[in-house]
Amino acid sequence: MKDIAIFGAGGFGREIACLINRINGKQEGTWNLIGFFDDDENLKDAWNEYGKVLGGMDSLNQWEKPLNLVIAIGNPAILEKLVGKIQNPNISFPNLIDPNVEFMDREHVEMGKGNVICMRSTISTNVKFGNFNLLNVAVGVGHDASLGDFNVVMPNVNISGGVTIGSANLFGVKSTVLQYLKVGDRVKIGASALLMRNAKSDNLYFGIPAEKK
């Protein structure tokens, strides 16, 4: 078994612990969850139902043994900032994929490191993921779509075929991106929004159809 820890001991961190347990249930002996890291001083030495908070970023950067790490932070800007602070060469970033994620053709999906894909998600063919993308429950990604880095995709989002997504974007619950559109960087798309035109970087889009706010 490989040691693994979670950065972020909040609700999403506990969900990631559940994901690790689900993976171990299908592939026994894959991961040994040793606990959590979190910079919240109120959580120092705290326990939850899945393990202990072992320390913050300083403790992580001083960790002396090989350790796999998942970052459970649902804010793209904070996610990117935290990754930049991790300087420990002992730390690796595996891709965590729920056992019931459906790939139409796993062989033709490219994936970097540190990606998380949660249960009931569906990934089509010729899809490209960069690094540290977080796909929550029941996300659909269509054929020939590509995602950069640090994108956070909330539950029940639909990304249609041929969509090109940059980095550090946030997709709200049940939002939809129509086919072959482009989403820049640091875009926020509101819950249930229907994006029908390209989304420019550093903007917010809400509504049906989604309009820039």
Kindly list the catalytic residues.
Answer: 143
CA nearest 205: which of 191, 189, 186?
189
Strands of the sheet containing 146-147, edge to edge, are: 109-111, 127-129, 146-147, 164-165, 182-183
Distance CA 150, CA 165 (A): 11
- For residue 208, the 8-state DSSP code is T
- As annotated, the binding site for substrate includes 74
Amino acid at 65: K
* Alpha helices (runs of H) in 43-169, residue ranges in sequence order: 57-61, 76-85
Q: Is omega for the bond preceding 66 within 30 degrees of 0, making it cis?
A: no
HSE, side-chain direction, 13 A CA sphere, residue 184: 13
Distance CA 134, CA 174 (A): 15
- As annotated, the binding site includes 74
